[in-house]
Structure 1
Amino acid sequence: MKIGDRVRFLNEIGGGTIAGFQSHQIVLVEDEDGFQIPVSRSDVVVTNMDDYSTSRAIKSKTNALEKKQNQEQEHKNHSIKALLHEEIADDDSDDSSFFEEPEITFKKPIEERKGGDLLNLYLAFVPQNPLNITQSSFKAYIINDCNYYVQCAYASLQESNHNLHFQGEIAPNTQLAIEDVDLEMLNDLSRISLQAFFYKKEKVFIGKPAFNIRLKLDPVKFYKSHVFVESDFFESPALLYHLIIDDEPPASSSMKIASTLDFATDKDTKNVQSQDKRFIRQKDSDILVVDLHAHELLDTTAGMRPEDIRDYQMEKFNEIMEHYKNRRGQKIVFIHGKGNGVLRQSIIHELNYKYKKVQYQDASFLEYGYGATQVVIK
């Protein structure tokens, strides 16, 4: 049987044309009114005639049998081997169509979940060796957590140039692995662009805006085990970036993974300090002390280059300065260590060119030792 064959029903009056196959055993028969009826293959017979008569089918089978008998008579003097060969060839040619796999045209409709019409899109990184994060590679995923299809273009940015890593469609409520990321690739992924367009198929739907999202990844976070958390999407811990939240992209500040160095409001400062021992407010003054030593900021520096560590230290320095830059009279002591002076020089450069309204000096040697700079917000 194939699409387009005319058939009649064996157990009832009527018939129609085969419009498709719902499975290997169920055919879709379209009647004269255009309705498609699922019927078992064993309950229909091919007629290819308007009156659904089987006479021509029977006659065709009879002629084939007579032809076969005549061929046997003509070749009765052939060797048994030749005769068997011809029998096998005849059987293959006569019955091959019977064993052909039908084309499956039935497609199960996409199931939608309640509340899934609000757009939610994630970028995720799953370590391939969660027990050894500092040496692990990662698999990157885009998670489409809504009832819409999404067409995505995912690229890394180098200044104004784009390097496309993935482009394609992701089905509703689906996660798709888009690439493998090794440690050498992390610096190339520090700035990411993701463009997304949402739609539904074969139905009317509420239109959604297109998104052009820019995301800054911190490569150092990939070396810190506590940023990989359990989620509903994976069996193992993952680093998740929520790119679109309920139809809206998050603010640039919340696009970053939560860090103990991020401050929400002034009221949160004491809570942050109590949770993070790197921030210590002295009892007898309002001086905020920030220790920028690598061992205070990072769980481990394994696999990191000196410039990677320094970039991370400067990122945390700038986070503190941005939070307090408008609080007049605030005193902040940055402990950077003596070392070779590279970190201190970087801090002084930022204070001279980016935060010109502050005063700074070497902090008290008696209280902080060598390698500390005190900043006063003016």
Structure 2
Amino acid sequence: EGEKLNIALAYIPDESKHLNTTRFSCYLVNDSNYYLYFSYLSRDDEGWRTRYAGMVEPNIQVMLEEFGQEDVNSLERICIQYIAFKKDKHFSLKSPVAVEYRLDTTKFYKLHTFRESLYFDEPSWTLDIVKNDMPVRPAVFDASDLERAMKMKKSADIPLRKPVVKHAEKTAIVEVELHASALLDTTAGLTSSEILDYQLGKVRETLDQYRHAKGRKIVFIHGKGEGVLRNALLKEIRDKYKNCSCQDASFREYGFGATMVTVH
């Protein structure tokens, strides 16, 4: 919305399945129609240190830094300071604000920390800095600190920037057709076992895609037949996707040949 600020800070692991060894990327998301002068800070025993300072355009997300395991502990206390403004047009004045977080850095090693968000396809640990114009946990603002931070650090290279794209709410049921005739141009030369493996591959591909989409419902349409595909589907989910539950899909919509999976 035109005059409202929404700002977020996000940490994204390069490899979410290897949190003990992976590197991470940090992004600032400017989901607003304002330009932001900002600084990203961390604190240690000697005081605050500028990790990044610069300007980000409206509706842009910018990568602030990449870091490894050796830097995780330095993020126990972080802060975002910002000044918001618009160019060549009138706008509502926003007060300069500093928002400080005390992070539990052990969360960088826990898979459930990184979840789906509006702003990223990858699982991320996303912290709201400003939500609908309301700063989260605002710290006392010191204008001289912000000015000093801006002068202290300039990025040598142009940072990675891309437009903010919010994903649509993921409430619609996903339907996946598993009939061989729909998945394959022809089944000539394939054994029943090979066809079944291909169908289960489609199941795994879909569940891997939505494994972090809590509440997502997926309907696999497999037909009634002799129950071979349905039983294989249920076993696959029971053995490999513990965060999913199964039930028969709506008879009214799908007949007897469909199973609905809910991601938890």
TM-score by length of 1: 0.35
The match for 1:220 is 106
The match for 1:259 is none
The match for 1:170 is 56
Match for residue 72 of structure 2 among 162, 183, 186: 186
Amino acid at match of 2:83: F
Amino acid at match of 1:184: E
Asked if structure 2 preserves the Cα contact closer than 8 Å seen for 1:156 and 1:192, the reply is: yes
Matched, 1:126 2:29: no
Matched, 1:206 2:64: no
Structure 1 or 2: more helix by fraction: 1
What SS does the aligned partner of 1:230 have?
Answer: coil
TM-score by length of 2: 0.50
- Offset from partner CA, 1:192-245 (integer Å, 9 cap, x none): 121111000111111111111111111100111111011221111000000111
- Offset from partner CA, 1:276-333 (integer Å, 9 cap, x none): xxxxxxxxxxxxxxxxxxxxxxxxxxxxxxxxxxxxxxxxxxxxxxxxxxxxxxxxxx
The match for 2:33 is 147
What SS does the aligned partner of 1:221 have?
Answer: helix
How big is the shift at 1:159?
3.7
Matches within 5 A, 1:240-279: 240-251=126-137
How big is the shift at 1:165?
0.7
Asked if structure 2 preserves the Cα contact closer than 8 Å seen for 1:141 and 1:175, the reply is: yes
Gaps (5+ residues) in structure 2? 139-264
The match for 2:161 is none
Structure 2: distance between partners of 1:181 and 1:116: 34
Structure 2: distance between partners of 1:229 and 1:169: 27
How big is the shift at 1:250?
2.3
The match for 1:229 is 115
Larger radius of gyration, structure 1 or 2?
1
The match for 1:109 is none
Asked if structure 2 preserves the Cα contact closer than 8 Å seen for 1:116 and 1:145, the reply is: no
Asked if structure 1 preserves the Cα contact closer than 8 Å seen for 2:3 and 2:91, the reply is: no
Structure 2: distance between partners of 1:164 and 1:119: 23
Structure 1 or 2: more strand by fraction: 2
Match for residue 158 of structure 1 among 39, 44, 48: 44
Gaps (5+ residues) in structure 1? 1-114, 253-378
Higher relative contact order (CA 8 A, sep 6+): 2
Structure 1: distance between partners of 2:20 and 2:13: 10
Structure 2: distance between partners of 1:228 and 1:191: 19
Amino acid at match of 2:69: L
Asked if structure 2 preserves the Cα contact closer than 8 Å seen for 1:195 and 1:212, the reply is: yes
Asked if structure 1 preserves the Cα contact closer than 8 Å seen for 2:5 and 2:31, the reply is: yes
The match for 2:125 is 239
Amino acid at match of 1:132: H
How big is the shift at 1:125?
0.4
The alignment yields a C-alpha RMSD, in angstroms, of 1.4
The match for 1:351 is none
Amino acid at match of 1:224: K
Structure 2: distance between partners of 1:250 and 1:156: 17
Structure 1: distance between partners of 2:104 and 2:23: 16
What SS does the aligned partner of 2:20 have?
Answer: helix
Aligned residues: 138
Runs of 4 or more consecutive aligned structure 1 residues displaced over 3 Å after TM superposition: none
Structure 2: distance between partners of 1:242 and 1:216: 13
What SS does the aligned partner of 2:16 have?
Answer: coil
Amino acid at match of 1:174: I
Amino acid at match of 1:156: S
What SS does the aligned partner of 2:126 have?
Answer: strand
